[in-house]
Amino acid sequence: MTTLPLKSKKFVAYLIAELSWKMLIFYVIYKYQDKIEHYAFMVLVAMIITSGFIQIGYILGQAALDKYAYVAQAAIDKDSTAKEKEKKDETSS
């Protein structure tokens, strides 16, 4: 069962946040396109680093969630298979 990414509230929130960071970075570059002074450069670097941390955090969080869901599903499948086997053994005895 696959769902579209845009149906996920977390993904939509991440997408909005990511687009906001990109627009803010673009604004700073556009505003100081002729001369980037020290303050503007440091703000720009801080925005880029923050955006990178947000991206990495989201991707790692989704990877951990996917792994957890896979392990949980495998445990449920294994448990149901074991119960079916026990029922077969009981009926055959």
Domain that holds residue 71: 10-86
Query: Is residue 30 within 8 Å of residue 4, measured between CB atoms?
Result: no
pLDDT of amino acid 93: 59
Q: How many domains does the chain have?
A: 1
Count helices and strands in the chain by DSSP H and E runs: 2, 0
Q: Specify if 74 maps to a domain.
A: yes
Q: Specify if 4 maps to a domain.
A: no
pLDDT of amino acid 2: 59
Q: How far apart are CA 55 and CA 15, in angstroms?
A: 10
Per residue in 26-76, pLDDT (tens digit) is 888 888 777 878 888 888 888 888 888 888 888 888 888 888 888 888 888
Query: Is residue 24 within 8 Å of residue 47, measured between CB atoms?
Result: yes
Q: Specify if 56 maps to a domain.
A: yes
Q: Specify if 93 maps to a domain.
A: no
Q: How far apart are CA 86 and CA 89, in angstroms?
A: 5
pLDDT of amino acid 58: 82
pLDDT of amino acid 32: 78
Per residue in 74-90, pLDDT (tens digit) is 888 888 887 777 777 77
